[in-house]
Amino acid sequence: MIGFNSDYQEGCHPDILRRLAETNLEQTPGYGTDDYCAQAAGLIRRRFACPDAAVHFLVGGTQANLVVIASALRPYEGVLCADTGHINTHETGAVEAAGHKVLALPGKDGRITSAQVSVAVALQADDEHTVRPGMVYISLSTELGTLYSKAQLSDLYQTCHQLGLYLFIDGARLGYALASPLNDLACEDIPRFCDAFTIGGTKVGALFGEAVVLVNPALQPRFRYMMKQRGSMLAKGRLLGLQFATLLEDDRY
């Protein structure tokens, strides 16, 4: 039997353990203001060709999803996603608990289309008695292991842009998507076709951690306020930065 299990059944890449041990007694500023976080953020900006993006490091995927969504949306707005999407099926209503309705669409192999998004927005028709869609959430790779092609992602992003919606990519499994022989997206394509995305560490070799990359300047101001309020600002933030710096060096990720 073949089991498709994530790598958090194990610890982390051996080089991460080594570097954590080597730097254990270093004293650094807290809350992600250290040099390791700055180095990791710089590596992400260069590797993904998004020099003006804001990069933040959080502990887990549910944290990252709810903080991005809560920060981006107005109180009366919700987020469109596939019915199999992680925020709809596997996060114990975290997004709803943050005050935003998850607006699930019937997915095809875990994916949704720009046509579905257009119809969902048209049905809402700016009716103040209903939750207004403000964002589209997709997973890459999806919860069913499928991918969005460059053409599909570009089309979805253009539709979101035309309709005034943010497009947010949950990249908890982004490493798997980029490494797939079926994938035609390069790292540099990801920020071109979304407003925000995450780079998963927990499932891709780290002990823990997700990087949030805010591409759209409108999403960047005071994001750290929301991180702190939602309990997602790690005091020993250098533990996150060091792990991502190690993963991104020498193409380990």
User: Is the pLDDT score of 1 beyond 60?
Assistant: no
Distance CA 252, CA 28 (A): 25
- Res 248: pLDDT: 95
Q: H or E segment at 245?
A: helix 238-248
Task: Quick: pLDDT tens for 22-43.
Answer: 999 999 999 999 999 999 999 9
In which band, very low, low, confident or very high, does the pLDDT at 4 lie, cut at 50, 70 and 90? low
Distance CA 114, CA 110 (A): 14
Neighbouring CB atoms inside 10 A of 224's CB total 16
Predicted TM-score (pTM) of the model is 0.96
β-strands 196-200, 132-139: how paired? unpaired
- Res 253: pLDDT: 86
List the one residue out of 145, 170, 224 whose CA is nearest residue 61. Answer: 170
User: Is the pLDDT score of 89 beyond 80?
Assistant: yes
